[in-house]
Structure 1
């Protein structure tokens, strides 16, 4: 076979593999028309139809292209996990849209989930080449954490005994200190082993970085290094943990100004406004528990402060639902180097602020002007930083 023919053959093979690869990159059936369904039968029928169509397409691809045994195994494993993955992915989002109905029909949803999971192996090192399998276990880490959050409230005695080997009182203190990172590690060590657990740890560290959540990150990292000293993931994780370690060395400074009594005695928005009279202030309604809040602070905070350095803009960080988390609150203020004013809002103040600025989610940003008026940020979420910069510049010019 001449060189030209070889190139053509390689191109055709690559095109065929690209086609099937693209197929499994878009391995989701269209869920849009099923969101809001209170029972699972209709979506399950659609998932089975999607699964069959993919099986037919896969059979045709293998027959026409005769891929390697390794490629066939990968594609067949994708197919094996397809229904379980799509149902589990759909359920994870839909249950929040049908909260009351989901609770009412829980047994029916759970029956189908259990039936799908009974024919696939969750901890399956042999399925590691499958993108669908990897997406399933990544989704599992998130959804199992959410399930355990619910169980901590609905069945605390069993939850804390099983997952923390502790009484409700002792377990609740441990749980409240870290409701995410340590809990995810417990899920990993409970359900997974070997290379699959090693991969799941890499996802945990990815979440730690993306969620800007340093809680117990270094402790978990030390355990990971002891378990997997030769892990290929260390090349990526080690510098990330070094950055977290450096940030954890930061301490509170004189530029981090706390209201009297941490502001806990302020009960109304007007009382808070009186504290910043005559100033142009960017207010950040956030919480130590709020992943999007931490992400936005880390992503946009330094750039905003650099842009407005010396221009007369003040910053006020109002922590919400953190009355019992004073230590963690101050630790994160130091960690993120949040120079500015700080207030630990009680429930009355939080409610009054959010009602006044007509907002319900976190983070919420708004601007207090020198005359005491205020306006909500137009930057949206995720923050369009340029939009907020323009809005702040206009406020400073008034």
Structure 2
């Protein structure tokens, strides 16, 4: 080989061998003082649309876990077990999290190259606590201040937070600068919106117009100006996701007597409003719609949500969250219309064991609720109206399932005696671990389920009582009453 060829080959090998290999993990260590060794811990990505954790583990006899955690890009992960912690992590920067309990409150400390990131977030949280503490003696805390004073104080708080990042500028990455800037922006908007809510609920004078945050109309454009790396901030990601419904709701024609969310077609309209908005960059649009579609299973009947999901995965097949969204929906496959309703048995108010299957031959309207759930209780007046409209129907069973904790059974009994709800009252008695929650993929209440006379699911996420004619007509159809006749009975 001549000298020139050898030098060229040497240069090529040198160039490729010296290229930095992309990091795809970081080494994570968790050390817990006085641990419960039976406790399971989990790690999942905050940007995941699937509730399943990516890692589940227990501590060893020394209260320690150590291992490689795979990540391709900087992101926020959720660490949970007997405590909960949100952590910003980045590939190649190892992180040790140490936890000790003080008055049943976890106290965290950090070591390793990646320690600077959670330290900054903890410092920001400490400033937020101090800000609220400063005004704790006011009736509504900091939200009792007049707007000009509140905004001035909020701006000063924001400057203090930015100073933390500035002090660490020599060790943090450019990506993190984007993330923390977006995080603080989203925090500011959330706190200002809270001020608006408090003002309109408690401080507004009679006849006064609702308070609106100055510049509110520009928030979406300001958010979309950030690089998509900002989505590694959970606060910012939540803000971006909320813009879908917030902007879409403004364009809906809503009847005063029916909440917008009770009309299934409204959810499709909101999706279409966002999908057809050419002012939203594609990368953000994919994330916005992905988050929206993944959450639809909480708000819409699964078959209707399924149609929107199919449109999304077909329209954005290369979006990285498509697999997770399909995983979310696959869990709902057994709950689609026409499937046999999963059976359950709980103790009734009369002390008898009652199963769903024992009610076969009737239309069954199931209300999953709890005595501590305000939105559940707020539906009860509409529920009574619905039952009164169908008072002569003997082929309907109104089935209530409480997911209160076992120790709250007397509270449940007292509540029922005071409110006279009627129907068949069952006590699940195991809180969020009550079996119906897993059977029917319940992640929030109230939840309504409609079962036909053959014991099959008609809707695993049925309309609320407050939807009025919508739920009334559906029940009548299931009873076999023609809609014209049903309407004449109103």
TM-score, normalised to structure 1's length? 0.52
Measured in 2, the distance between the counterparts of 1:72 and 1:242 equals: 37
Q: Is the 8 A contact 1:178 1:215 kept in 2?
A: no
2:157 to 46, 50, 55: 50
- Within 5 Å, give how 1:130-279 maps onto structure 2: 130-144=233-247, 147-148=250-251, 152=254, 177-178=263-264, 180-189=266-275, 190=277, 192-211=280-299, 213-214=301-302, 216-250=304-338, 255=360, 257-258=362-363, 264=389, 266=391
Q: Is the 8 A contact 1:181 1:215 kept in 2?
A: no
Measured in 2, the distance between the counterparts of 1:55 and 1:227 equals: 39
Q: Which has the larger radius of gyration?
A: 2
Q: Is the 8 A contact 2:241 2:287 kept in 1?
A: no
Q: Report Cα offsets for 1:281-333 as digits up to 9, x if no partner.
A: 3189xxxxxxxx9944769999xxxxxxxxxxxxxx99633441147744999
Measured in 2, the distance between the counterparts of 1:187 and 1:142 equals: 9
**Which sections of structure 1, spanning at least 5 residues, go unmatched?**
1-5, 155-171, 274-278, 285-292, 303-316, 335-345, 350-398
Measured in 2, the distance between the counterparts of 1:118 and 1:296 equals: 30
Measured in 2, the distance between the counterparts of 1:265 and 1:7 equals: 63
1:122 — aligned with what? 224
1:72 — aligned with what? 177
**Which sections of structure 2, spanning at least 5 residues, go unmatched?**
1-92, 97-109, 342-358, 365-385, 399-421, 428-441, 452-461, 480-486
Measured in 2, the distance between the counterparts of 1:182 and 1:8 equals: 43
- Within 5 Å, give how 1:280-299 maps onto structure 2: 281-282=424-425, 295-296=444-445
2:419 — aligned with what? none
1:370 — aligned with what? none
Q: Which has the higher contact order (CA 8 A, sep 6+)?
A: 1
Q: Report Cα offsets for 1:115-158 as digits up to 9, x if no partner.
A: x6388243644443444422321333344455556x7359xxxx
Aligned residues between the structures: 274
Distance 1:102 1:112, change over 3 A: farther
How far off its partner does 1:62 sit? 1.9
Larger helix percent:
1
Measured in 2, the distance between the counterparts of 1:80 and 1:319 equals: 36
Q: Is the 8 A contact 2:248 2:274 kept in 1?
A: no
Q: Is the 8 A contact 1:78 1:130 kept in 2?
A: yes
1:324 — aligned with what? 469
Q: What SS is found at the alignment partner of 1:282?
A: strand
Q: What SS is found at the alignment partner of 2:111?
A: helix
Distance 1:7 1:36, change over 3 A: closer
How far off its partner does 1:224 sit? 0.8
Q: What SS is found at the alignment partner of 1:128?
A: helix
Q: Is the 8 A contact 1:252 1:333 kept in 2?
A: no
1:376 — aligned with what? none
How far off its partner does 1:76 sit? 3.2
Which stretch shows the higher mean deviation, 130-139 or 94-103?
Answer: 94-103
Q: Is the 8 A contact 2:224 2:281 kept in 1?
A: no
TM-score, normalised to structure 2's length? 0.44
How far off its partner does 1:250 sit? 1.7
How far off its partner does 1:19 sit? 0.6
